[in-house]
C-alpha cells in the first residue's frame, strides 16, 4: 500500500513538473516571438525608409546626374518622420552627399548588417546609382534646357544609404513583455514551489502513516504474542527442565553404555535449544524498558567480540570492527543482545573465508551502527518480513533474532533498517543512536 501510494505521488509530481516545464517553454517561446516580431517590424520600417530614399534619388536623377539641393529636400522631408533619427547618402569616396535629421546619430563607418543598441537601429544599403540612374535608366529623356552647373554627375562605384531609426518605443514594448514574462515565470515558480511543498508533505504524511501502521502492527503483534504465548511458554519450560534433568542423569549414570549416554546428551542439547527459544520468546513477550548509560563503543566491542569468536570459527568467517572513538547512550545489556543477534545472523549467511564488518557512521549528534556481510542475501519479497517473529530463512533458526533487535531498537528510540540483495549480502543498521560528547 505504501509503495503504491508513493508511486502515485511520484507520478503526480512528474506530471506537475512536465506541465510546469511546458508552461515555461511556452512562455519563453511566446516572449521570444513577441520580441522577434517587434524587431521584424522595425527592420521592415528601416527597409522601407531605405527603399524610399533610393526611389527618391532615382526619381530625381537624370542621365547619370543629380542636384544636391533637391537631394537635401528629399532627405529633410523624410527625416521629419518621428521614428527616423537620421539618414544620409555617401559617395564611393566616403563623402557625404546628402543627410537629414540628427547627424551625430550616424556612425562614421556604416555597418554591414543591422546594428542594434538600447536607443537606435542603424541600417545601411549599398547601391550603384550610376548604373541604375545612367543613360537608359530612370528619368531618361528629360526635356527643356537646364543649367548644367546645378547638376553633378554620379561617380562610378558603390554609394551607401544609411538610416538610423529610434528604438525607444520598441524597447518599451519589449519591457512590457518582459514584465509580463517575469510575472508569469514568478507565478509558475510559486505554483511549482507550492506543488513541491505539497508533494513533500504528502510523502512525509505517507511516511508517518506507514510508521504509525508499523507501530500499530508491532503493538498488536506484541500484545498477541504476550497474551497467547507467555503462559504456554512458561508451562512448557518447566516440564522441559524436568526432562533435561532426567536425560542428564541418564548420561551421567555409569550403568548405561555409550550409545544410551550419547542419546541422553542429544536430548539435553535439544532441550537446551528449545529452552533457549522459549527464553527468547519470553524476552519478546515481556520486553524490558531500556536503562541507557554512557558506553565507550570501542571498549564495548573490545570486550564483546571475543565472545563470538567461537561462532565465527565455526562459520569459518572473520568478524572485524572499525574503531570510532565515540561514546553513546544505550542500555548495555540490550545493546549486547541486539549486536549478538545481528552478528550471529551475519555469520549464518556468510560463506567460508568471508568477513562480517561492523562499522559506524556519524551524522551530527547521532550514530548509525552497521553490521554487514557478503553472504547469500535476502529475497526482495522476504525483506519486509525479516522482523516478524518466527520468520527465518535458516534451517534450525528460531526466527526471533531480528524481532528482538527491532524491539530493542524501539525501546531506545532507534530504528532498525535492513537492506539486502540476493547473492551480494545483507546490511543491518541501527540508526538514531545518541552520541555522548566528550566533556
pLDDT of 138 reads: 40
How confident is the model over 395-416, as a mean pLDDT?
A: 83
Nearest 5°: phi and psi at 381? -70, -25
- What CATH number should be reported for the domain holding residue 416? 3.30.565.10
What is the percent of the chain with per-residue pLDDT over 90, rounded to a whole number?
19
User: Bigger pLDDT: 21 or 77?
Assistant: 77
pLDDT of 139 reads: 41
Enter the C-alpha cell of residue 213.
501502521
Let me know if residue 260 belongs to a domain.
Answer: no
How confident is the model over 52-65, as a mean pLDDT?
A: 79
Q: Domain range for residue 429?
A: 290-436
Let me know if residue 344 belongs to a domain.
Answer: yes
Do residues 14 and 156 both lie within one domain?
A: yes
Contact (Cβ atoms closer than 8 angstroms) between residue 114 and residue 89? no
Let me know if residue 285 belongs to a domain.
Answer: no
pLDDT of 144 reads: 43
Task: Write the pLDDT tens digit of every residue in 138-186.
Answer: 444 444 444 555 677 778 888 899 999 988 888 888 888 888 888 888 8
Task: Write the pLDDT tens digit of every residue in 18-39.
Answer: 877 777 778 788 878 888 888 8
Let me know if residue 410 belongs to a domain.
Answer: yes
Let me know if residue 276 belongs to a domain.
Answer: no
pLDDT of 271 reads: 67
pLDDT of 293 reads: 93
pLDDT of 136 reads: 41
Residue 73 pLDDT greater than 70, yes or no: yes
How confident is the model over 393-414, as a mean pLDDT?
A: 81
Let me know if residue 347 belongs to a domain.
Answer: yes
Task: Write the pLDDT tens digit of every residue in 87-136.
Answer: 989 888 888 888 888 888 888 877 888 888 778 889 998 988 888 776 54
Enter the C-alpha cell of residue 349.
549467511
In degrees, rounded to 5, the angle at the alpha carbon of residue 308 between the alpha carbons of residues 305 and 310 is: 130
311-318's contacts with Cβ under 8 Å and 24+ in sequence apart are 311/343, 311/344, 311/347, 312/347, 312/356, 314/347, 315/347, 315/348, 315/350, 315/352, 316/352, 316/353, 317/347, 317/350, 317/351, 317/352, 317/353, 317/354, 317/355, 317/356, 318/354, 318/355, 318/356
Q: Using 50, 70 and 90 to split pLDDT, how confident is the model at 273?
A: low
Q: How many residues does the chain have?
A: 439
Residue 262 pLDDT greater than 50, yes or no: yes
pLDDT of 237 reads: 57
- CA separation for the pair 65, 94 (Å, rounded): 18
Let me know if residue 98 belongs to a domain.
Answer: yes
Strand 65-66 and strand 293-296: the pairing is unpaired
Contact (Cβ atoms closer than 8 angstroms) between residue 226 and residue 44? no
**pTM: predicted TM-score of the whole model, two decimal places:** 0.44
Tally of structural domains, the chain: 2
Enter the C-alpha cell of residue 128.
550603384
pLDDT of 255 reads: 59
Do residues 160 and 302 both lie within one domain?
A: no
Let me know if residue 397 belongs to a domain.
Answer: yes
Task: Write the pLDDT tens digit of every residue in 207-257.
Answer: 788 788 877 777 676 666 665 565 556 556 556 665 666 666 666 666 555
How confident is the model over 352-364, as a mean pLDDT?
A: 93
Amino acid at each position: 500500500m505504501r509503495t503504491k501510494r508513493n508511486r502515485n505521488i511520484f507520478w503526480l509530481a512528474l506530471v506537475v513538473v512536465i506541465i510546469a516545464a511546458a508552461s515555461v517553454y511556452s512562455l519563453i517561446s511566446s516572449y521570444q516571438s513577441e520580441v522577434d516580431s517587434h524587431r521584424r517590424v522595425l527592420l521592415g520600417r528601416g527597409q522601407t525608409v531605405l527603399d524610399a530614399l533610393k526611389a527618391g534619388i532615382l526619381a530625381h536623377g537624370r542621365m547619370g546626374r543629380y542636384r544636391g539641393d533637391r537631394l537635401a529636400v528629399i532627405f529633410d522631408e523624410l527625416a521629419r518622420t518621428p521614428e527616423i533619427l537620421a539618414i544620409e547618402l555617401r559617395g564611393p569616396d566616403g563623402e557625404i552627399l546628402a543627410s537629414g535629421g540628427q547627424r551625430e546619430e550616424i556612425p562614421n563607418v556604416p555597418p554591414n548588417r543591422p546594428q542594434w543598441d538600447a536607443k537606435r537601429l542603424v541600417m545601411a544599403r549599398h547601391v550603384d546609382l550610376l548604373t541604375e540612374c545612367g543613360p537608359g535608366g530612370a528619368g531618361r529623356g528629360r526635356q527643356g534646357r537646364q543649367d548644367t552647373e546645378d547638376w553633378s554627375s554620379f561617380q562610378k562605384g558603390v554609394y551607401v544609404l544609411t538610416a538610423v531609426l529610434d528604438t525607444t518605443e520598441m524597447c518599451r514594448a519589449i519591457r512590457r513583455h518582459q514584465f509580463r514574462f517575469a510575472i508569469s515565470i514568478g507565478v509558475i515558480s510559486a505554483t511549482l514551489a507550492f506543488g513541491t511543498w505539497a508533494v513533500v508533505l504528502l510523502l512525509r504524511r505517507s511516511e508517518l502513516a506507514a510508521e504509525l501502521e508499523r507501530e500499530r502492527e508491532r503493538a498488536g503483534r506484541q500484545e498477541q504474542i504476550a497474551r497467547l504465548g507467555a503462559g504456554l511458554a512458561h508451562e512448557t519450560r518447566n516440564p522441559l527442565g524436568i526432562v533435561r534433568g532426567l536425560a542428564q542423569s541418564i548420561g551421567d549414570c555409569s550403568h548405561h553404555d555409550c550409545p544410551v549416554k550419547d542419546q541422553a546428551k542429544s536430548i539435553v542439547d535439544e532441550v537446551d535449544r528449545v529452552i533457549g527459544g522459549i527464553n527468547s520468546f519470553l524476552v519478546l513477550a515481556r520486553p524490558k524498558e531500556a536503562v541507557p548509560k554512557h558506553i565507550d563503543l570501542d571498549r564495548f566491542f573490545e570486550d564483546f567480540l571475543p565472545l563470538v569468536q567461537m561462532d565465527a570459527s565455526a562459520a569459518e568467517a572473520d568478524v572485524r570492527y572499525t574503531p570510532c572513538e565515540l561514546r553513546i547512550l544505550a542500555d548495555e545489556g540490550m545493546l549486547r543482545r541486539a549486536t549478538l543477534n545481528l552478528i550471529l545472523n551475519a555469520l549464518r549467511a556468510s560463506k567460508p573465508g568471508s568477513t562480517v564488518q561492523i562499522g559506524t557512521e556519524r551524522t551530527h549528534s547521532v550514530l548509525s551502527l552497521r553490521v554487514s556481510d557478503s553472504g547469500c542475501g535476502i529475497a526482495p519479497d522476504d525483506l519486509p518480513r525479516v522482523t516478524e517473529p518466527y520468520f527465518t530463512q535458516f534451517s534450525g533458526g528460531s526466527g526471533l533474532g531480528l524481532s528482538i533487535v527491532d524491539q530493542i531498537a524501539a525501546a531506545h528510540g532507534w530504528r532498525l533498517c535492513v537492506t539486502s540483495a540476493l547473492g551480494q549480502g545483507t546490511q543491518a543498521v541501527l540508526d538514531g543512536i545518541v552520541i555522548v560528547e566528550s566533556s
